[in-house]
């Protein structure tokens, strides 16, 4: 059901997104603002543990229907984060307009992902990265070309 459960190289994707991020003042401001806003959410960690435990029980009791509902709630956040990220990367003149709404969407999405239970750890890590790395979220789903070149070269290397 979740397309993110098969993505296990989130850290590498995040590092590439940071490396290939635009270097203008709006991007730097957006990245810093999202880091500060999502960093404040560390106070929610005890609540996250509680909601994960309760939500895990609800998922088990409802035979996974509850996770389907949570996924339906996540999709609009995902669409907004990826859409605004794509615009950020492809329409530099919209960056001043996207700055405040993008940071706000990333903040709310981060709260949602923290508090919503997720049975797949890799999926939760990727969802958190998409929210916390806005405006570079698009690069997490569709990494720069160098990502694919490194994947091909690592497959061609012979094991020792």
Q: Is residue 4 part of a domain?
A: no
Residue 17 located in a structural domain = no
In a domain, 15, yes or no: no
Asked whether residue 2 is assigned to any structural domain, the reply reads: no
Name the residue range of residue 78's domain.
Answer: 24-143
Output the average pLDDT for the chain. 87
Q: Which DSSP string do the residues of 10-35 spell out, in sequence order? A: HHHHHHHHHHTS--SHHHHHHHHHHH
Which pair of tokens denotes residue 48? Answer: 């996250």
12 belongs to a structural domain: no
* pLDDT (0 to 100) of residue 54: 86
- The pLDDT of residue 1: 46
Each residue's pLDDT tens digit, 123-141: 889 999 999 999 999 999 9
- Within a domain: 58: yes
Number of domains in the chain: 1
* Residue (of 105, 108, 123) closest to 67 by Cα position: 123
pTM to 2 decimal places? 0.82
What are the tokens at 104? Answer: 């706000």
In a domain, 42, yes or no: yes
pLDDT of residue 154: 59
Please identify which residue in the block is written with the tokens 């560390």.
42
Angle between helices 25-40 and 95-115 (to 10 degrees): 20
User: Is there a domain that residue 150 lies in?
Assistant: no
* Per-residue model confidence (pLDDT) at position 64: 77
* Sites in the chain below the pLDDT cut of 50: 1, 160
């Amino acid at each position: 059901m979740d397309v993110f459960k098969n993505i296990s190289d989130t850290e590498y994707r995040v590092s590439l997104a940071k490396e290939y991020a635009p270097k203008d003042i709006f991007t730097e401001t957006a990245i810093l603002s999202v880091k500060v806003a999502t960093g404040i959410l560390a106070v929610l960690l005890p609540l996250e543990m509680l909601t994960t435990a309760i939500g895990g029980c609800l998922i088990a009791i409802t035979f996974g229907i509850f996770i389907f509902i949570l996924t339906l709630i996540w999709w609009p956040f995902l669409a907004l984060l990826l859409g605004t990220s794509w615009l950020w990367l492809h329409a530099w003149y919209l960056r001043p307009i996207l700055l405040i709404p993008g940071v706000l969407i990333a903040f709310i999405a981060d709260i949602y992902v923290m508090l919503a239970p997720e049975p797949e750890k890799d999926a939760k890590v990727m969802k958190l990265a998409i929210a916390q790395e806005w405006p570079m979220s698009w690069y997490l789903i569709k990494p720069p070309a160098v990502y694919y070149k490194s994947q091909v070269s690592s497959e061609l290397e012979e094991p020792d």
